[in-house]
Each structure stands twice: as C-alpha cells, then as structure tokens.
Structure 1
Amino acid sequence: MAAFGHTFPFYAGPKPTFPTDTTLAVIVAIFLTSLATFIIILPGIRGKMRLFWMLRVVTSLFIGAVILAVNFSSEWSVGQVSTNTSYKAFSSQWISANVGLQIGLGGVNITLTGTPVQQLNETIDYNEEFTWHLGENYAEEYANALEKGLPDPVLYLAEKFTPHSPCGLHGQYRLAGHYTSAMLWVAFLCWLLANVMLSMPALVYGGHMLLATGLFQLLGLLFFSTATSLTPPCPLRLGAATLHTHRGPAYWITLTTGLLCVLLGLAMVVAHRMQPHRLKAFFSQSVGEDPVLELNPEEGGLLNPRYRSTTESPEPQDIPLSEASSEAPCEEPDCAL
C-alpha cells in the first residue's frame, strides 16, 4: 500500500455512500397514490360535501403519513459543523469539511463532505449509517467500519455511540428510540381505528380514537425527551470546533401532528355534545332519527339508543277477525261440501 502512495489504513475501493432510505420513499409513494386516487374521484361528489370530503381525506392522509415517516426518520436529533480536522489515521494531513450527525429512533447517520469535495486527490463525500435496531449489533458495525478504514471524523462520532463508550449515548438513545417507536406504532393503530369508526355511525368514538392518536404521539415525544436527558451531554470535538445537537425536523413535525390530533379529537367530542346533527352532516351521514330508536345525547350519544319502555309503548289494539274466520266451525257432514 505504501508503494502506491497510500497511508494505512485507507478506504479500499470506491467509497459507497449510504443508500437512499427506500422505506420513506415507499411510505410517501403509497400516501401520494391514495391522495391522487381521491382527487380523481373528487369531481363525482356534489355540493358542499366535496369540500368536506377533501378536508377529511387530506387531513387523515397527512396524519397517517407523518406517523409512519417519522418512525423511520433519522432526523430526531441533528447537528452539523464546519471544521478543519484530520482525515486518516497515522497521517498528519488535515482537511476542511462539513460534518453532520443525524440521530434517529433506530440508529445514527454520519456525513462527511469536503469543502471543496476534491481534496488530497480524493473525493471526500461519505454518508454512513450505524443502527441499533432489535437484532442489530452496533459494536459489530463499528468494528466493520474500522476494518474498512473510514475517515477519522466518521469513526470518532461512531465511537461515541458504542455500548462501551464512557459517554453513554448508546443506551440513552437506544432506550429512547425503542419506547418512542412503540408509542408511534400504537398511535398509528389508533389512527386506523379512528378512520374505521368515522366511516360508521360511531363518530364520537372516532373522535376518541383521534384524541388517543395525538396523546400517544405526545407520549412518545415525552419518552424521547426524558431518555435523552438522563445523562449530561457528551462533548463532540472535531478539530477546533465542537458539534452540538438539537431537536430535528422529525421531532417538531411529530409534536405538531400530535397537537393537531388532540385538537381535532376534542373538537369532535364537543361537537357531538353541542351540535350532533352538524357533525353527522360534516361526515356525510344521515341526520334523520330512527323512529324506533331515539338517540339521546345526554344518555350516551349516538351509540346508546334509548329504547321505549313498556309504559311508553302504544296500547295493544284488538284486531277483529274476518267474518269467515269468526264463524264457528261446521261439524255437520254436509258442511264439508
């Protein structure tokens, strides 16, 4: 290797960047396809119902897409810094680069981009992921990165998240990721149940499930914030600069969506108590009352019908028999004729 002018260790072969997360692409494609399908059939809805359907479908698809997308996002905590730092081990050469750190629920993503990209006769553009999903071994992935000879800034940041690092970032973020992801999956299930109930005469319970969707999202944020603040922050020094992390876009969009679900759920519960007929009209349901089942909002709402008691039931009416049937049966032999 020294004969070819390389400094050991070096990054053998072409430097593959971390592939695009196809999971997020699939999620976005599915929800965009659903939205496009609805837009195609939208002209078939007449009157004001077209606007009501548009608001309901777009809001519901947005909430579902956000819950799934943030669960696989790597931007819950992010940080970036421009610095001059060493490039390879056993080398005194330094580079000028932008170093980025994205922490998700399932791992970390580290980027290293030279400024300019072409330095030291190399293309400095790295994007590496290290995961701690269930069944994944972070320490093994870090050992593989050492064998590949990744640049010093990437290995330095990855080492801070190893299980045996004195910073304790691995257990901190791994615990936060597991509990937050579990809460988001429960929120997604509540979102599915809310859509099912809102398509049936169960609007108040659909509002309850929508409220639960927001509460589980906020509970996940509480787990993430609590778990990531259990230990003091670990300094991440790269050359003369220090990399600081802060809440990323995934955190804030989850907070916004959670609050939106809570407000919509509360609004539906209040509307069910105050204006049940308008609520049913907004969801394109019949506002006519059943003549047999009297819906009494004060006694439980749309799903708790109050049946008439025996005292309220109409008196039984005597139905006279027809003349032919009221006549006494004939027992004479001639009557059979």
Structure 2
Amino acid sequence: MAAFGHTFPFYAGPKPTFPMDTTLAVIIAIFLTSLIIFIIILPGIRGKMRLFWMLRVVTSLFIGTVILAANFSSEWSVGQVSTNMSYKAFSSEWISADVGLQIGLGGINITLTGTPVQQLNETINYNEEFTWHLGENYAEEYAEALEKGLPDPVLYLAEKFSPNSPCGLHGQYRLAGHYTSATLWVAFLCWLLANVMLSMPVLVYGSHMLLATGIFQLLGLFFFSMATSLTQPCPLRLGSAMLHTHRGPAFWITLTTGLLCVLLGLAMVVAHRMQPHRLKVLFSQSVGEHAVPEGNPEEGGFLSPRYRSTAESPEPQNIPLSEASSKAQCEEHPREPNCAL
C-alpha cells in the first residue's frame, strides 16, 4: 500500500454499480412484459368489456408487482445527509459528501457520493450492501469490508448494524425483516389464488382472497412498525451532522396497495350479496350456464318441488278425441255436455 503513496487503509476503487437494483429491475421487466402481451391481445375482446378487462389486468399486475418489489426492496427505511467528514481512518483529510442509508427487509445499503465526486485525487462514489438474510452472515461481510478498507463513513454505518453493536439495530431490523417478508409472501400467494378464482365461477371466494391479500400486507406493515420501535433510536453522527431515518417508499406503497386490496375485496363481497348476477356479467361469466334450479332453500333446495300458481299455469287446451274414445267417455260420463249433443 505504501508503494502507491496512499494513506492507510487503501481501497483499490469503487466497484461498478448498476443504476437500479437488479432484482427490482427483473421483477418490473417481467410484469411489464405480461402487460404488453395483454395489450397485444386486448383488441380481441369485444364490446364494452374491453375497458373493464384492461382495468382489471392493470390493477392485478400492479398489486403483484408491488408485493414482490417491496419484498426485495431496500427502501423500507431511508435517510440521507450532506456533511463534511473524514474519508479514511488514521487520516486528517476531510471530504464533502452525501451519505445515504437504505434499510430493507434483508439488509442495508450504504451510499457515499462526493460533492464533487472527484476529491483527494480519487473518485468518491461507493454503493455497498450488507445483508442478514437467512444463510447470510452479516459479521463476515463487515469483516470483509474492513479488510478491503472501505471509506470510514461506510464502515461507521455498517458497524452500527453489526450484531456486536450496543445499538441493537441488527436484531431489531433483522426480526422485522423476517416477519414482514413472510407475511408478504403469504400475501403474494393469496394474490395468485385470487386471480385464479376470479377467472372461475367462484367470485365470492376470489373476493375473499383479494381481501386476504390486503390484510396480510397490512399485517406485514404492522410487524415492521412494531419490531423497529422496540428499542430507542441509535444516533448516527457523521462529521458535523446527524443522519435520521424515516419510512421509505416501499413502506408507503405497500400501505397504499394493502388498502386498495381491502377496499376492492369488500366492494366485491357487498356486490355479491346485493347484485350477484351483475357481478357475474361484469366478469364475463354467463348467468344462464350456472343458474340454480328454482326451489325453496329452506325446504330442501334442489330436491323440493316448486308448485306453480294458477296464473303461471298454462291455459287448458281442447284436444279433439277420436270417435271411439268419445263414445267410451260418454258411456262413463253421460252428463257431459259433449255427450248431450
């Protein structure tokens, strides 16, 4: 390191970064492809139902995309600050930079961007991730960061979330991430079942699954909020400024989608009770194909006969009988008016 003339520790340089999380990019690309395919086949749907099908597919794809994207997002809690701080350990040189912290369900992401980017004859632009997923060891990743010699602000924030830190942020957010991620996966399963049932003649169960999708999303938000508020906030001081975190976009968009699912599910349940035939027509399900035989459900449903009233009975028809049949009838009933003739 001394041969290069740099102050200890020396970090070879920032690794190239993709401008967007690759997992989120893949999820969004898959759902956009599905939407484009549906738009291509949309002209094959006739009449006014074309608009409803378009709205239904867009809403369903939006809900599924939000559930998956939020599960893998690193922006459940975010914070950013611009300050002057030391750049390397055991060095008196300071830099002016923007420090960002994104906390997700599976780890944290720390960004360090110089203002300007070129300072101290180096490019200050770092984007480092530390995870606590099942099977991942946060302590090992932090030890590797120390060996690489990452900038001091990155190591400072990463150390605050390490298992041995007195702040307790590691256990706090790790617990919140596990429970929230589990409930979001259940919500995604309910979303799949809702789409299947809404394509079949069981709309009431589809509405129940859509309602369950929203409930599990809201339950995940409840777990995240409760787990992250168990301990006192740990001060994050960077130079002369304090870094404060707040709810990120993933939290608020999950809240919006969960409320949307609950409202749509309740509306469908009420519509099934009030106007079931119109609801079937709205979902392009023929009422005649699945019509229930008339009968009194309190007296046995399908097995109970339905007696017609006099007004519903067909009018009697005079069917002429043969001559032999007429004579036989007159012998049995001589007082009939036809026999008198």
TM-score by length of 2: 0.86
Q: CA deviation at 1:5?
A: 1.7
How many positions carry a matched residue from both structures? 306
- 1:81 aligns to what SS in structure 2? strand
Residue aligning to 2:276: 276
Task: Tell me, yes or no, if structure 1 residue 209 matches structure 2 residue 209.
Answer: yes
Within 5 A, what are the aligned runs for 1:214-229? 214-229=214-229
Runs of 4+ in 1 over 3 A off after TM superposition: 17-20, 289-296, 310-314
Deviations 1:69-97 (A, max 9, x none): 00000000000000000000110000000
- 1:227 aligns to what SS in structure 2? helix
Partner AA of 1:219 in structure 2: L
Structure 2, unpaired ranges of 5+: 309-341
Q: CA deviation at 1:278?
A: 1.2
Q: CA deviation at 1:141?
A: 0.1
Within 5 A, what are the aligned runs for 1:235-254? 235-254=235-254
Residue aligning to 2:77: 77
- 1:269 aligns to what SS in structure 2? helix
8 Å CA contact retained: 1:18, 1:128: no
Cα distance change, pair 226–44 in 1 and its aligned pair in 2 (3 A): same
2: CA distance between counterparts of 1:163 and 1:295?
68
Cα distance change, pair 130–196 in 1 and its aligned pair in 2 (3 A): same
Partner AA of 1:106 in structure 2: G
Partner AA of 2:15 in structure 1: P
The structure with more radius of gyration: 2
Task: Tell me, yes or no, if structure 1 residue 65 matches structure 2 residue 65.
Answer: yes
Task: Tell me, yes or no, if structure 1 residue 147 matches structure 2 residue 147.
Answer: yes
Task: Tell me, yes or no, if structure 1 residue 308 matches structure 2 residue 302.
Answer: yes
Residue aligning to 1:326: none
Task: Tell me, yes or no, if structure 1 residue 119 matches structure 2 residue 113.
Answer: no
Which range moves more in the overlay, 168-177 or 44-53? 44-53
Q: Note the aligned Cα RMSD (angstroms).
A: 1.8
8 Å CA contact retained: 1:180, 1:220: yes
TM-score by length of 1: 0.87
Cα distance change, pair 132–295 in 1 and its aligned pair in 2 (3 A): farther
Residue aligning to 2:164: 164
Cα distance change, pair 240–172 in 1 and its aligned pair in 2 (3 A): same
Deviations 1:129-155 (A, max 9, x none): 000000000000000000000000000
8 Å CA contact retained: 2:295, 2:304: no
Partner AA of 2:302 in structure 1: R
Cα distance change, pair 124–294 in 1 and its aligned pair in 2 (3 A): farther
Q: CA deviation at 1:46?
A: 1.1
Cα distance change, pair 23–293 in 1 and its aligned pair in 2 (3 A): farther
Within 5 A, what are the aligned runs for 1:1-337? 1-12=1-12, 14-19=13-18, 20-288=20-288, 290=290, 293-294=293-294, 307-312=301-306
Q: CA deviation at 1:271?
A: 0.3
8 Å CA contact retained: 1:142, 1:158: yes
1: CA distance between counterparts of 2:295 and 2:279?
14
Q: CA deviation at 1:260?
A: 0.1
2: CA distance between counterparts of 1:16 and 1:295?
73
Which range moves more in the overlay, 270-279 or 242-251? 270-279
Partner AA of 1:28 in structure 2: I
1: CA distance between counterparts of 2:152 and 2:105?
25
2: CA distance between counterparts of 1:121 and 1:144?
25
Q: CA deviation at 1:21?
A: 2.8
Partner AA of 1:241 in structure 2: A
Residue aligning to 1:335: none
Partner AA of 2:25 in structure 1: A
